[in-house]
Structure 1
């Protein structure tokens, strides 16, 4: 796997990975939630972060991470590459090269919380609502091995 900076031309492929990943890991989100988030991510959120992608030897995108102000704003892996080290690779690269040291994780996604704990993050707080004001609690985490 290699890490590259995402280009605007890759955003359509990234939003497909995002949707597949969300449907595989965020079972608390309704189709309506996903449909309302999709254009926001594609048209606004991708452009608001330092967006990096992991590509395999065939140049196929396996996953991506977006960081802004030292915060991991998004980390999504294609279901074909889940549990194969792509998320760890992207996160470690973000810590080393994008100054990532914080993340907010959906409380209803315990696998993600465990993933970040495994990679050195600790819980520092909780919010009852997500960034859009929806009743999806967020766990605030920070890197403790800095």
Structure 2
């Protein structure tokens, strides 16, 4: 089940749950990040979760714990993270398909050092249009800018 949450309906408890999903997901997929990198990103991710325009939560049924989430701003996927225990269950595909079909998502940025994510987004119809040598924090983690074909 995909649920869209307005900014006013995001409780601190939910934000902490989503932050935990982010962290466990990052630890299993972003192997290029150090412990310091993850610690430095935590407050930025928590802040982003609280203010991003559209926050989609995926859970099996209403009332069940979230298994993944997606944040969208200006028709761009800004964050997509799935709990490692739920990876491979098409949750990311369901969220991205929903975002394309109902929210007019057109773009996404992907860490170049995360080939699994790159392959996923290519499979979903995105293609690389540009590369930046630094991420948004100015660290040397190259970013691939992708657009929907």
Whether TM exceeds 0.5 here: the answer is: yes
- Aligned pairs for 1:55-66 (under 5 A) are 55-57=59-61, 59-66=64-71
Q: Which runs of 5+ in 1 are unaligned?
A: none
TM-score relative to the length of structure 2: 0.92
- For residue 15 of structure 1, the aligned residue among 12, 19, 33 is 19
CA contact (8 A) 1:49 1:73 kept: no
Task: Provide the C-alpha distance between the structure 2 equivalents of 1:122 and 1:113, rounded to a whole number of angstroms.
Answer: 9
Q: Does 1:45 align with 2:48?
A: yes
Q: Does 1:29 align with 2:33?
A: yes
TM-score relative to the length of structure 1: 0.93
> What's the CA shift for 1:76?
0.1
Q: Which runs of 5+ in 2 are unaligned?
A: none
Task: Provide the C-alpha distance between the structure 2 equivalents of 1:41 and 1:99, rounded to a whole number of angstroms.
Answer: 23
Q: Residue 111 of structure 1 corresponds to which residue in structure 2?
A: 116
Task: Provide the C-alpha distance between the structure 1 equivalents of 2:53 and 2:142, rounded to a whole number of angstroms.
Answer: 22
Task: Provide the C-alpha distance between the structure 1 equivalents of 2:103 and 2:124, rounded to a whole number of angstroms.
Answer: 16
Q: Does 1:3 align with 2:2?
A: yes
Q: Residue 87 of structure 1 corresponds to which residue in structure 2?
A: 92
C-alpha RMSD of matched pairs (Å): 1.1
Task: Provide the C-alpha distance between the structure 2 equivalents of 1:121 and 1:80, rounded to a whole number of angstroms.
Answer: 26
Task: Provide the C-alpha distance between the structure 2 equivalents of 1:87 and 1:127, rounded to a whole number of angstroms.
Answer: 24
Q: How many residue pairs are counted as aligned between the two chains? A: 142
Task: Provide the C-alpha distance between the structure 1 equivalents of 2:24 and 2:72, rounded to a whole number of angstroms.
Answer: 20
CA contact (8 A) 1:106 1:138 kept: yes
